[in-house]
Amino acid sequence: MTGVATATAHPNIALAKYWGKIESPTNLPAVPSLSMTLDALSTTTSVGFGRSATETEAKRVTALLDRVRIEAGLRTRAWVETANDFPTGSGLASSASGFAALALAAITAAGLEWDSAKVSDLARQSSASAARSIFGGFATLAAGNLDTTFLAAEPLAGTHDWAVAVSVVITTFQPKEVGSTEGMTHTRATSPYYAAWVEHAPVLFERARAAVLARDLHALGTVAEESAFAMHACAMAAAPALVYLSPVTLAVIETVRSLGRSGVPAYVTMDAGPQVKVLSRAADAAHIASVLRQVPGVEKVIVARPGPAASAKIIRQAP
Ligand code: PMV
């Protein structure tokens, strides 16, 4: 039975980065990735089938809803309402929480009872990072290949037995100029370092996975920095260059390094935007956040802990 459903999902930060897609129409990542879901940020999305649409649905949203319509045998239009409690489109992984929440709200509203893997596969087709936000704690997503027909993220570790935090350092509220899909296509087409990145990323992924399983913050932080800088180096070598980092990003990185030298272990990572996410022990996060708030140009710092899986509820059954 269809109805109206609301789902909440949290963005995730990749500690072993996904950057690059294989040449296929189904949005398959060329490299494996590993992420931590962030509790302090969230997207809430409601979907209802069987009414007229309240707004023009964006193409990527329509594509996901069409997949759900096919699975549920529905032909009715849907309406979608969504809100983030954090800045959208500037490297804070809003596409991850956005498409995870949309996928879960849509299948729930359509009356489909799917397991998390199937919802993750659906979300992945719109945004590969969204596949990981279906799960809480730490999650992984394998690379795809030309024969892949189903690819879901997998949970790696829960949220309660490791006291780590990620401080999200917002350096601008402006949306980024080059989205991740466009950035990845451009990098693959023009960066001389792309092949090296695709070859090296699985090695970084395995190290990150082992570090999470061993609950080894130093090992995880070290490999997370290597992954982030390798991804950015690869993107910067594209022609023309893709430079996502700003002077404020670099000032934050420098401050995190001096915190490390003063005995506070902290590690940086950046996605396709100028924001910095700082991995640390949970007990150090308040201090790290207060130091980073003093860096000129920093707008806001939000401390996040490993967050929960995406969840949904039916608000109303269709009459
Ligand atoms: O799946 P997308 O389109 O949101 O791309 C995500 C790309 C990065 O955020 C840069 C890396 C990642 O693994 O999340």
Ligand 1 pocket member 17 (CB < 6 A): yes
Give the pLDDT confidence score for residue 277 in this predicted structure: 98
Is residue 213 within 8 Å of 256, Cβ to Cβ?
A: no
* Ligand 1 pocket mutation, candidates 19, 129, 184, 185, criterion most atoms within 8 A of CB: 129
Give the pLDDT confidence score for residue 91 in this predicted structure: 65
Ligand 1 pocket member 127 (CB < 6 A): yes
The Cα–Cα gap between 223 and 5 comes to 39
Paired with 21 in beta bridges are: 29
Ligand 1 pocket member 176 (CB < 6 A): no
Chain segment 23-65, per-residue pLDDT in tens: 988 999 999 999 999 999 999 999 998 765 545 557 889 999 9
Q: Compute the mean pLDDT over every residue in the chain, rounded to the nearest whole number.
A: 94
Better-predicted residue by pLDDT, 86 or 110: 110
Give the pLDDT confidence score for residue 267 in this predicted structure: 98
Give the pLDDT confidence score for residue 296 in this predicted structure: 98
Give the pLDDT confidence score for residue 63 in this predicted structure: 94
Half-sphere exposure of 199 (CA within 13 A, CB side): 5
Closest CA to 89 of 188, 180, 185: 180
pLDDT of 179 > 90? The answer is no
What's the 2 CA to ligand 1 centre distance in angstroms? Answer: 32
Chain segment 92-147, per-residue pLDDT in tens: 777 899 999 999 999 999 999 999 999 999 999 999 999 999 999 999 999 999 99
Collect all residues with Cβ–Cβ distance below 8 Å to 19 and sequence separation of at least 6.
31, 180, 183, 184, 187, 197, 201, 231, 234, 235
Residue having the nearest C-alpha atom to atom 10 of ligand 1 = 271
pLDDT band at 318; cut points 50, 70, 90:
low
- Considering the chain, what percentage of its residues have pLDDT values greater than 70? 95
Residue 251: both structure tokens together: 């000032």
pLDDT of 175 > 90? The answer is no
Residue 72: both structure tokens together: 């549920």
Burial category of 40 from C-beta neighbours within 10 Å (exposed 0-12, middle 13-18, buried 19 and up)? middle
Average pLDDT over residues 174-190: 91
- Considering the chain, what percentage of its residues have pLDDT values greater than 90? 84
Is residue 281 within 8 Å of 263, Cβ to Cβ?
A: no
Give the pLDDT confidence score for residue 319 in this predicted structure: 57
Cα angle at 120 between 118 and 123, to 5 degrees?
Answer: 115
Residue 208: both structure tokens together: 């990150």
Instruction: Provide the phi-psi class of 111: left if phi over 0, else alpha when psi is between -120 and 50, else beta.
Output: left
Q: CA–CA distance from 114 to each of 26, 34, 72, 134 (Å)? A: 20, 23, 11, 12
* Ligand 1 atom at minimal distance to the Cα of residue 18: 13
Is residue 153 within 8 Å of 124, Cβ to Cβ?
A: yes
Q: Beta strand pairing status for 164-170 and 300-304?
A: antiparallel
The Cα–Cα gap between 36 and 157 comes to 9
Give the pLDDT confidence score for residue 158 in this predicted structure: 86
Chain segment 111-124, per-residue pLDDT in tens: 999 999 999 999 99
Average pLDDT over residues 266-289: 97
User: Strands, DSSP E only, in 87-208?
Assistant: 138-141, 154-157, 164-170
Ligand 1 pocket member 128 (CB < 6 A): yes
Q: State the SS3 of 268-279.
A: EECCCCCCEEEE
For the whole model, what pTM was predicted? 0.95
Helices (H), 141-193: 180-190
User: Strands, DSSP E only, in 66-119?
Assistant: 78-84
